[in-house]
Amino acid sequence: MINQDIYLTSPSSRKLVNEGVASVNDDKTQEALNVLRYELETFVCDGQYEKGVEDILDTYLKNVDQAQQPAVWISGFYGSGKSHLVKMLRALWTDLIFPDGATSRGIAKLPQNVKDLLAELTTQGKRHGGLHAASGTLGAGASGSVRLALLRIVFKSVGLPEQYPVARFVMWLRSEGIYEQVQRHVENNGHDWDEELDNFYVAEGLHEALCEVKPNLFSSPVSCVETLNNLYPYVQDVSSDDMIKTIKAALSNNGKFPLTLIVLDEVQQYIGEDSQRSIDVQEAVEACCKNIGGKLLFIGTGQTAVTGTSNLKKLEGRFTVRIELSDADVDAVIRQVILAKKAESLPKIEQTLQQNLGEISRHLAESKIGHRQDDIQFFAQDYPILPVRRRFWENTLRVLDQTGTDSQLRNQLSMIHKCIQSNLDKPLGSVIPADYLYFDGADKLLQSRVLPRKVHEKTFSWMKGNDEQQLLARACGLAFLVGKLQAENKEIGIKANLETLADLMVEDLNQSSSALRTKLAGLLDNCELLMKVGDEYRIQTEESQAWNDAYLRHRNTLANEAHRLETERTDRIRKKFSERVKKFSVNHGQSNVPRALSALFDASLPGDADSKIYVWVRDGWSIDENSVRVDARQAGNTASTIYVHIPKRSADDLRHHLIDLKLPLPPWKKKLTGYARRQRSPCRHANRSRHRRVKSE
């Protein structure tokens, strides 16, 4: 038996239709429906995903008749499945019907508790105006206005043009009962209906149709242009009242508002560091929830919890239902989606692995990621990937991808799907070597300056050579990965010695690994890329290159960690201001009693603000100057509070300076090799001088 024969769905014919990335929108094209169907078929509604869907539906149904519906915030690292979860919920909400008659709820494998909640949702929908769902990203359109961006999502979900004036015009045609008549007239005269709508201010075919159908209102094409411009002018924003009125008009069915789900994907990415966008999102969602009631549910997603940053914290009061995803269910998803086996093949796999348990159990035995007794129950499910190597990959990925942008679930689905295709023609007992991770991600590691160019070029060149050169390339790639993991996580207890490299390189469990271990010993000692320190093999690089690569890598890492820079900026502003305020006091009354000034950096005044003198300091990254002025005017000239606003100036320059200032400091605490510590490289002096320059500024 070969590996090709064991899978429920052959990896050679299976394709990750969405490449492991869920796109949240209301696309109804055949290609988009094919992707959605694949995602429903492979949706693993288990663990955190099951709990998330259950909590959302249960909370919604309990509040459907209330004055307001609490909004939901779903957080999790890049690729944890946030977008996939909300996309599946959006399809299940309306039970989308496919062209062949299949339904979303019928395709997906759902637990009974979720099925019951969806059935109750359908029952409630019949009492009201039906069920409706809309989804998208705010950044996909009308970027200058959150309200218009939200309306575009709603318009698209009901088949209306996304432009606000055009959508209102089409709704008017439908309310007048002349939509089909006007469309037919336009198309009979050789014009494209969608194109006429896109250019409806200057669309002659549309104007002629309106004059024909509504002569009392549109007496001539010239008056038609003027009327359309007056009734449906181009706007860059709308009021909250107009937004709510338009949403009700677009979604209501015979005067009833349907049970509606609106998914706003990647809200955190849209807001970024723009505090005004955060306020706009809060106001738009709040206006809808208060004025439409418990029938409308908002779901937003982001990488961090809604309380994670100062800008997101503004949404805390509105998004009160929080669901946090992690990597706890990654293994289950991979086993059920990618590694699913035929039932009849499982006993043979288990027998093969049990026969080679001695070889498997010796792998990385002295480390904390070595063989464990509970691995045995997952042997057959994880095959051809050994649990020890999975743990090695997971820990190494966390080290190599400190920004989190090379997402874990997304990355592992794609990588494992590719790697199991590499040994389909090999006999049962052939497993994936751990060095696959190196060659799969080497190009990306080179681009991010984690992998030295010399190592990349040599290893890939050797992989095109003879068997010994290929073996050497694989060993060097593993030595690089193990070295990175060891430097970042010493508690794992792994080191790049001969035993470790051989343990991770074994491919055929049915053959003795002694020949591999013997051959490696002779190759590694003479490798130009490796130096031997004790019994360990380390990648040998030029010292100055090591310093520069480390500097650029740390800089890239910090540049992607906006929350750390935000915290650093806030702390420094507070510290500097507090130092200045301590030097001042105010003499009060005829007796000149000194009253101390207390600096306050909170989002609101404390309860004793009337009895103490607070210097309430806020900055332009969290609130705009006009809002502070309004607060001060409302307080009046008898208030004891001093209002201070620190403007947001040269934000990009300040950000770059903060990055440079943080570079030589923790939390990296990287330890160099003994050779590098003894040298005083040009890069080292350059970094120190850069630090001194920033501090002086």
Mean pLDDT of the residues in the chain: 83
- pLDDT for position 693: 41
pLDDT band with cut points at 50, 70 and 90 for residue 16: low
Q: What is the mean pLDDT of residues 253-280?
A: 87
Q: Are 54 and 113 in contact (CB under 8 A)?
A: yes
> In the chain, where are the structural domains located?
160-237, 330-541, 542-697
Task: Spell out the residues 6+ positions from residue 139 whose beta carbon is closer than 8 angstroms to its own.
Answer: 149, 266, 269, 270
Strands (E), 182-320: 259-264, 296-302
Exposure string of 636-652, with b = 16+ CB inside 10 Å and e = fewer, is eeebebbbbbbebeeee
In angstroms, how far is the first alpha carbon of the chain from the final one? 69
pLDDT band with cut points at 50, 70 and 90 for residue 505: very high
| Rounded-to-integer distance, Cα 471 and Cα 464, Å | 11
C-alpha distances (whole Å) from 483 to each of 31, 529, 549, 562 are 44, 13, 15, 28
- Helices 651-662 and 682-696 cross at an angle (nearest 10°) of 130
- pLDDT for position 158: 92
Strands (E), 101-228: 131-136
Strands (E), 161-302: 259-264, 296-302
pLDDT band with cut points at 50, 70 and 90 for residue 658: confident
Lowest-pLDDT range, 3-12, 17-26, 80-89, 506-515? 17-26
pLDDT tens digits, one per residue of 118-129: 999 999 999 888
Please report which residue ranges of 426-466 form alpha helices under DSSP H. Answer: 436-447, 453-462
DSSP 639: -
pLDDT tens digits, one per residue of 339-381: 888 889 999 999 999 999 999 999 999 899 999 998 898 899 9
- pLDDT for position 591: 67
- pLDDT for position 677: 41
pLDDT tens digits, one per residue of 268-288: 888 887 888 888 999 999 999
- Helix, strand or coil, per DSSP, at residue 314: coil
Q: Which residue has the higher pLDDT, 585 or 159?
A: 159
Q: Are 560 and 538 in contact (CB under 8 A)?
A: no
Judge whether residue 412 has pLDDT over 70: no
Lowest-pLDDT range, 479-488, 606-615, 644-653? 606-615
pLDDT tens digits, one per residue of 171-213: 999 999 999 999 999 999 899 999 999 888 888 899 999 999 9
pLDDT band with cut points at 50, 70 and 90 for residue 541: low
The pTM of the full predicted model, rounded to 2 decimals, is 0.62
DSSP 74: E
Lowest-pLDDT range, 27-31, 374-378, 435-439? 27-31
- pLDDT for position 288: 93
